[in-house]
Amino acid sequence: MPAATLGRPDVEHILRALALIRQFGEDMADQIEQETTDWVIEFQHSLAQLEHRAGREWGASGDRREPSPRQETDPSADRGGAGRRMEPGGRLDRT
């Protein structure tokens, strides 16, 4: 009796199943790649819109935000120099 008649698949059925699984995997990879590409394009477009709007709000002369305290603080502040701030020109304010 052939193996397929006893409830066991024969080589042909196994090869067809493997081909189907392989095709499914390739289709999924293609779909994921396309969706990822679409997401990147959408993200870049949204980011460009946000940057454009932010540029209008801040004006053409550039970014008018004050530097964050972290940017102003002496880099040695993490090593015990807390409270010292950088003055313009790189001098330390020792107050």
Sign of CA pseudo-dihedral 20, 23, 27, 29: positive
User: What's the rounded mean pLDDT across residues 31-38?
Assistant: 98
| Between 61 and 24, the higher pLDDT residue | 24
**For residue 68, what pLDDT is reported?**
57
Is 50 exceeded by the pLDDT of residue 81? no
The answer to whether residues 9 and 1 touch, using CB atoms and an 8 Å cutoff, is: no
**For residue 95, what pLDDT is reported?**
47
pTM (whole model) above 0.85: no
**For residue 1, what pLDDT is reported?**
47
Is 80 exceeded by the pLDDT of residue 22? yes
